[in-house]
Amino acid sequence: MFSHLRPAIVMIVIFTALTGVIYPLAITGVAQLALPAQANGSLIERDGAIVGSTLIGQNFVSDRYFHGRPSATTGPDPADPSKSIDAPYNASNSMGSNLGPTSKKLVDRVNAAIEAEFDAGRIDVVAADAVTTSASGLDPHISPQFALAQAGAVAKARKLSETQVRALVDANTERRLLGVIGEPRVNLLLLNLALDRLQ
C-alpha cells in the first residue's frame, strides 16, 4: 500500500493541474475569444442595461405581459435568512417542485393555478405548461398554445388588437429543426420585449 502512496499523491496533483486548472482555463480562454456572447450567458441589453438572458426565464405578473410557467424556486426570507420562501424564477437557486404524480399538494396547486388563470378569464384553454412547474424553475419558454391562450388578455391590457398580438406570438414561435428536433416553443422574454417594441 505504501509503495503506491507516492504515485497516488503525485497523480492527484498533476491531474488537478491538468484537468482542474489548465483544461477549464483553456476552454474559458477559447470560448471568451471565439464565442463571447454565448460564453457570457447570452445576455440581452436594452438601452444599455442588461435586462436578462435569452436562456433564463423571468417572472412576469403584470397583465401587460405574457406570463411564464409557474416556478418552484425559492430564496432566503428577507426577515429570517435561515428560512426560505417562494421566489419564482430565482436564477441563483434552480429547482423543481419534486412533487410526485399522486401528491395532493400538486393537485391542489394546479387547481389553484387553473382558478387564477382560466376562471379569471386570462386564458381560454389550460395548456399543460400553463399550470405545471418546470424542472429548473427557470424555463425560458412557454408553448405556443399557452401564449395564444393569453393573447386576448394581453391585447386588452395594452389596448392592441388581438390579431396583432397573435401575429406577434406567431412571429416569435420557434419550430422543430428539420421538423423533428426540439419542441415548438415561444421564448417568453423575447416575446415580451417584442411586445414592448410594438408601442
Which residues, numbered 162-181, are part of the site for other proteins (CB under 8 A)? 176-177, 179-181
Q: Does 157 bind other proteins (CB under 8 A)?
A: no
Residue type, 143: S
* CA distances from residue 61 to 26, 88, 124, 171, 199 in whole angstroms, order as listed: 42, 11, 18, 23, 19
Binding mask 96-125 for other proteins (x = CB under 8 A): xxxxxxxxx-xx--xx--x---x------x
Q: Does 33 bind other proteins (CB under 8 A)?
A: no
Work out the number of other CB atoms within 10 angstroms of the CB of residue 49: 7
Instruction: Give the one residue of 80, 124, 142, 161 binding other proteins; rule: CB under 8 A.
Output: 142
Q: Closest separation between CB of residue 121 and other proteins, Å?
A: 14
Considering only residues 47-76, where is the footprint of other proteins by CB under 8 A?
49-53, 55-62, 65, 69
Residue among 194, 128, 145, 129 at smallest CA distance from 165: 194
Which secondary-structure segment (H or E) carries 147? helix 144-158
Q: Does 5 bind other proteins (CB under 8 A)?
A: yes
- Mark the segment that binds other proteins (CB under 8 A) among 36-44, 154-162, 163-171: 36-44
d(Cα 85, Cα 107) in Å, to the nearest integer? 20
Q: Which three cell numbers stand for residue 153?
A: 388578455
Q: Closest separation between CB of residue 3 and other proteins, Å?
A: 8
